[in-house]
Chains A and B, each alone.
Chain A
Amino acid sequence: MSAYGTPGGPVVHDPMTLPADDNVNAYTFCVELKAGQWFLQKGKMIAYYGAIEFNGIGHGRLDRLVRTSFHSPLHASDWVVAEGSGKMLLADRAFDVNSYDLDDGNLTIRAGNLLAFQPSLALKQSIVPGFLTLIGTGKFVAASNGPVVFMEPPLRVDPQALVGWADCPSPCHHYDHGYLTGVMGGLRAMTGLGGASGEEHQFEFVGAGTVLLQSSEALMAEQPTGAVPSAPGVPGGGGAAPGGHGPQASGAPRLPGQLGDLQRRFGL
């Protein structure tokens, strides 16, 4: 036993006292690998004991694993596979980290919040842009700005506080537009003059399930999830398909003399 670290001093961890697949403190999570594998986001490993190898998703030997549990090929470069035996500490910019167990379930999470997951889960890109869906049975680790709160639908949440949702409630946008109609209301909404509460836009969840919120409105840095292939009927797919069945013309060139949003708001 070494002489360093004394009773009364800070808690000293070694491979024996580190927890297995549990939090060391609110900001650090310890993963135990026994000749197993974990997917993790690049750069979230802070230290490890034992023999662990980190390989990019594109590594040839991992092809089979990637085929079964990684279905988000377009942001594969942000993920690595840790492989080997030992204990590994994960942390993310001193944010709160927590682990969650899925038992034959599904959970959709903001891409920037997901830190790591077991290969028994399958990671897929959500139809909702910027979100990822995990399906299956296993454990994953997610970061949040402040502790996570679990809520039951029906409810409306602030977009910045939303971390994710489980078991398929239906997420949709909700606008409190009651006082934002008419000419004055339109001007107010656009300029903020005359008072906008900043809470006119929410996400609404109905149906059975759980909604995860972080207890702060500071967003985690967005993690690009990659563009989806542009095909007819795919939301967010770039470029209109020939024949006019592509994405809605939100980015269509505006004709001269058109007032755009303003025009629509005033009902012209």
Chain B
Amino acid sequence: MFRLQGSKVLAVDMTGDAVKAKNGSMVAYDGQMAFKKLTGGGEGLRGMVTRRLTGEQMTVMEVRGQGTCWFADRASEINLVSLRGDRLCVESSNLLATDAGLRTGTTFTGLRGASQGNGLFTTTVEGHGQAAIMSDGPAVVLRVSPQYPLVVDPGAYIAHQGDVRQSFQSGVTFRTFFGEGGGEAFQIRFEGDGLVYVQPSERNTIAGDL
């Protein structure tokens, strides 16, 4: 059972079950807890090799026990996501914790990842349960529906959920090369049906200065 205590601390109540969390993100616990490092994100040998190859490394630990465990990471804002059989795509650096029952993996994102400077791959979380993602400043959750597609700045994107197609759109014109670009040279366009999480802050991206 995930709940937020304030906006920057995640409390997980456990009764013998387990959660996967970012390595070293535990700040306190009561009761009995066992912490076990999961090599390769707990995705087996194949997952481990994939993560190595794709650069989506994440060091994950499994926490199992009775009681409450609190997680936090560098005072980032934490957002809870409920999954009901759908899929969440999130950058591995923004993923704090997931229910142990959720499957995690990696997927190819194409040019979007490249424009963010996060590599070409992203982490997926699938199944039934809860996940906690981190953002710089409280995330704004935006709905994508067939009649309302959404365009997001790559630096502010943190995650998306549901049946959403993403395409990369570039506003690079000859003006960009004279230093008179529109300032939003790379954008990701989301279409379909789902939710997109954006943070009120921009990471430094290659596109940031164009």
Q: How far is the CA of A204 from the CA of B53 in the complex (A)?
A: 59
By CB atoms of chain A within 10 A, which of B84, B136, B178, B180 has the most? Answer: B180
Q: Is A221 an interface residue (CB 8 A)?
A: no
Q: For chain A, which range describes its interface: under 10, 10 to 19, 20 to 34, or 35 or more residues?
A: 35 or more
A42-56 to B contact mask, C-beta < 8 Å, 1/0: 111111110011111
User: Given contacts A4-B161, A56-B175, A58-B175, are A91 and B137 in contact (CB under 8 A)?
Assistant: yes
Point out the residues of chain A lying under 8 angstroms from B182, CB to CB.
53-56, 80
Q: Is A28 an interface residue (CB 8 A)?
A: yes
The 27 sampled A-B contact pairs (Cβ below 8 Å) are A2-B143, A2-B162, A2-B194, A4-B86, A4-B143, A4-B162, A4-B193, A4-B195, A5-B141, A5-B195, A10-B79, A13-B141, A24-B140, A28-B137, A41-B183, A45-B153, A46-B198, A46-B199, A49-B142, A59-B175, A89-B142, A91-B137, A91-B156, A92-B201, A93-B136, A94-B137, A94-B199
User: Given contacts A12-B142, A14-B148, are A27 and B200 in contact (CB under 8 A)?
Assistant: yes
Q: Is A57 an interface residue (CB 8 A)?
A: yes
B12-47 to A contact mask, C-beta < 8 Å, 1/0: 000000000000000000000000000000000000
Point out the residues of chain A lying under 8 angstroms from B199, CB to CB.
46, 91, 94
Q: For chain B, which range describes its interface: under 10, 10 to 19, 20 to 34, or 35 or more residues?
A: 35 or more
B residues with a Cβ closer than 8 A to A are 79-80, 82, 84, 86, 136-143, 145, 148-153, 155-156, 161-162, 171, 175, 178-184, 193-196, 198-202, 208
A241-265 to B contact mask, C-beta < 8 Å, 1/0: 0000000000000000000000000
